[in-house]
Amino acid sequence: MSKELVIRMSQPGDAGVLQAASIDLPPPGAGEVRVRHTAIGVNFADIYHRIGLYRLPELPAVLGVEAAGVVEAIGGEPGGQDCGDVRVGDRVAYAGLPAGAYATARNIALNRLVKIPAGVSDIQAAGTLLRGITAHMLFQHVARVRAGDTVLVQAAAGGLGQVLGQWGAALGARMIGTVGSAGKGGVARSKGYQEAILYRQMDFVAEAMRLTDGRGVDFAVDGVGGETLSKTLQTVRPFGMAASVGQAAFSGNEDSAVLPLSELGPYRSIALARPSVFRFMSDLSRYREGAEAALARLANGLVMDVSLALPLAEAAEAHRQLESGKTAGGVILLPT
């Protein structure tokens, strides 16, 4: 047993439900490893878990769906699982369910680990792996973005927005992002966006149509939801596609998430996807495919700005800052 600090919740609620606790962590079992965390990514998925929008299997629960660290111990024989060549002392990262990354260390299935390439920091791996897998899912499995396509991304200066901008630009797409301020516009342009629309100062639908000469974009990615998603659909060309990947604007009213089918067609004739990166990663082969693609992009220079790095014990404040919309880039928790 080892004594570890965790941040857990006993009931859904605001950031105040996140409380520090000390637990006894048993040795890893067969097919498991103990990872000593060095950096933990904070995502909107953590907030959705905290408020009860995404249900956790049981409470109390430790939050967190991605982290990086060092392999500290390996359990017994993995029972024939495909566990790769991970060794004690390796720098590794992981993403996905089950939640539990808000901890100084945890036991996790060995086959969920990916090695961090030389030259990629633990902080970048911890903050970018989930977003990178999301980008791979969106651009290869949802819309298959190619050179010459035009892509609109909401919240382009955020963590996912920064990854999507660089990824799409590397594919040869024309990237258009929406941002809340001129400063965030500069961030977006530095991350692959040719255009950054200040949505608080102009109608982003009208501007997107102007930038595409009235044609509309081929693919739009929205992580805001609500009215923003409805407007995002208006930027998509006929027979184009939009993807809803989050609900940052969720108000607690489930009815606000209902979208009439008439908003898609027949006049507009567009497609709407609601892909879940967690569902995507539940298939181990796809998880590894996405993780390898994300780590390759990181090794080749993709960088997500870290807006805020706080001690693990300040996880509640990290949630408040992310929810405020003031961050531009990733939010990281540091166990030490």
Q: Where do we find the tokens 């995404």?
A: 54
User: Across the chain, where does the E strand assignment appear?
Assistant: 2-9, 19-25, 32-42, 61-62, 66-74, 91-95, 105-109, 114-115, 150-153, 174-179, 195-198, 217-222, 236-244, 271-273, 306-311, 330-334
**What pTM did the predictor assign?**
0.92
- Over residues 59-80, the mean pLDDT reads 86
Give just the sign of the alpha carbon dihedral 164, 95, 127, 159.
positive
The encoded tokens of residue 294 equal: 């994300």
Is residue 59 within 8 Å of residue 27, measured between CB atoms?
no
Assess contact for 112 and 182: CB atoms under 8 A: no
Phi/psi of residue 165, nearest 5 degrees: -60, -50
* Residue range 245-292, pLDDT digits in tens: 987 655 454 444 577 888 898 888 999 999 999 999 999 999 999 999
pLDDT in tens, 177-235: 999 999 999 999 999 999 999 999 999 999 999 999 999 999 999 998 888 999 999 99
Single-letter amino acid, residue 112: R
Q: Tell me the DSSP string of 8-37.
A: EESS--SGGG-EEEEEEEPPP-TTEEEEEE
Return the DSSP state at 291. H
